[in-house]
Chains A and B, each alone.
Chain A
Amino acid sequence: MASSGSTNKSSRRVYADFSPLVAKSKASSKIVEPAGFDLKAALGRADALAGTQTRNDEADTALRTKKAWEVAVSPGKSLPMQAFMAWMSGTSVSIFSILITGMILMSPLRAIMSVQQTFAGLERAAKGTRLDLTMQKAAFVAINLAGILFGVYRLSIMGLLPTTSSDWLAFLPPKEYMEYSA
Chain B
Amino acid sequence: MLIAWRVLKAVVAVSSVLSGAQALFPDEAGRIDWYQAQIGVPQRLEEHVHNGTVGLVAATARNVVALVDAESGALRWRQQLGDEAIGALQVRDGRVLTQSAAVDSAAQVRVWDADSGALQWSFTHAADDVSGGAAAFVDDSDDVVTVSGNQLVRVAADGSTAWTLALNGTGVYGRVVVHGGSVFAVGDARRTRTAGRRLHVVEARVATGEVVQQYDVADGQRLGNGRVVVAASRTHGGFVVWREKKNIVWQLHRLGQTSPLWEMHHAKHVQMELMPEDMLSSTLVEAGAADAPRFAMAYTKDGVAKTLVVELVRGGDGVEMRRVALVSDRTDGVAWRTGDETGEARKGRVAYRRDTYGPVTGVTVCSGAARVVVQTRGGLVAALAHGRREPVWLRDEALAHAQDMAFVDLPAPASPAEHAARATDPSVLPSPFARFVLHWVAWAQTLRAWALTGFGLRRSAATAPPAGTESGRLAPEPLAAGDHFGFSKLAVFGSSTGVVTAVGTQGGVRSWAHYVAHNDSPAAVERVIVTRRSLPVGGEPPVAVAVGRGARNHTVVAPLDALTGAPLADLGQHVMPFAYSRVLELPATDPESGQLLLGFVPVDGAPRLVLWPPTTSAARAFCALTKPFFFEVGDDVGSTRVRGFRAVCPDAWAPDTPPEVDAQPAWSFDLPPGETLVAAARYEPGGYATALQGRVLGDRSVRYKYINPHLMTLATQGPDGVAVYLIDRVSGRLLHSATHAAARVDKERPFLAVQSESRVIYQLWLDAIPAAAAAPPARGFVTVVAELFESDRADERTTDSAISSRDLRLPSVVTEAFAAPEPATALAVTRTRARIATRDVLFALSSGKLLALPDQLLDARRPLAPSADEKAEGLLPYAAPLPLDPRRVVSHHNAVASVRRIVSHPTDLESTALVAAFGLDVFFTRLSPSGVFDQLAPTFSKANLVITTLALAVGCLLARPMVHRKLTNRAWA
Contact = CB atoms under 8 A, between A and B. Distances in A.
Interface of A: 159, 164-167, 169-170, 172-182
Top 4 A-B pairs ranked by shortest CB distance?
Answer: A182-B584, A166-B696, A164-B700, A178-B804
Contact of A179 (B585, B627, B690, B693): B627
Contacts of B804: 177-179
Interface stretch (B554-562, B611-619, B764-772, B794-802): B794-802
A166 B700 contact: yes
Interface in B352-374: none
B693 A167 contact: no
Nearest to A176: B802
A169 to B, nearest CB: 5
A164 B700 CA distance: 6
Contacts, number: 83
Given A165-B701, A180-B629, A175 B692 contact: no
B34 interface: no
Interface in B688-720: 689-694, 696-697, 700-702, 707-710
B803 A177 contact: yes
B701 A175 contact: no
B803 A175 contact: yes
Nearest to B609: A182
A180 B690 CA distance: 18
B599 interface: yes
14 contacts: A165-B702, A166-B694, A169-B702, A172-B693, A175-B707, A176-B801, A177-B802, A177-B803, A178-B803, A180-B628, A181-B631, A181-B709, A182-B584, A182-B586
A166 B599 CA distance: 41
Contacts of B707: 174-175
A181 B586 CA distance: 8
A182 B599 CA distance: 9
Nearest to A179: B730
A181 to B, nearest CB: 5
Given A175-B800, A178-B802, A182-B585, A166 B701 contact: yes
Contacts of B691: 170
B689 A165 contact: no
B627 A164 contact: no
Contacts of B803: 175-178
A36 B192 CA distance: 164
B798 A182 contact: no
Interface string B765-801: 0000000000000000000000000000001001011
Q: Which of A165, A167, A182 has the most CB of B within 10 A?
A: A182
Given A166-B702, A182-B586, A182-B587, A177 B805 contact: yes
B625 interface: yes
Interface string B475-515: 00000000000000000000000000000000000000000
Interface residues of B, number: 37
A173 B729 CA distance: 23
Q: Which of A167, A172, A173, A179 has the most CB of B within 10 A?
A: A179
B163 interface: no
Contacts of A164: 700-702
B630 interface: yes
Contacts of A165: 700-702, 795
B485 to A, nearest CB: 25
Contacts of A178: 627, 802-805
Nearest to B585: A182
Nearest to B646: A179
A37 B180 CA distance: 160
Given A172-B694, A174-B689, A175-B803, A181 B710 contact: yes
A170 B629 contact: no
A167 B599 CA distance: 42
B627 A180 contact: yes
Contacts of B586: 182
A179 B710 contact: yes
Q: Which of A159, A177, A181 has the most CB of B within 10 A?
A: A181
Interface in B812-860: none
Nearest to B711: A181
Interface string B711-746: 000000000000000000110000000000000000
Contacts of B692: 169-170, 172
Nearest to A164: B700
Nearest to A162: B700
Nearest to A167: B700
A76 B700 CA distance: 33
B124 to A, nearest CB: 47
A180 B795 contact: no
Interface string B618-634: 00000001011111100
Contacts of B584: 182
A180 B609 CA distance: 14
A178 B729 CA distance: 13
Given A166-B702, A173-B801, A175-B803, A181 B629 contact: yes
A58 B701 CA distance: 62
A40 to B, nearest CB: 52
A159 B873 CA distance: 13
A176 B798 CA distance: 12
Contacts of B628: 179-180
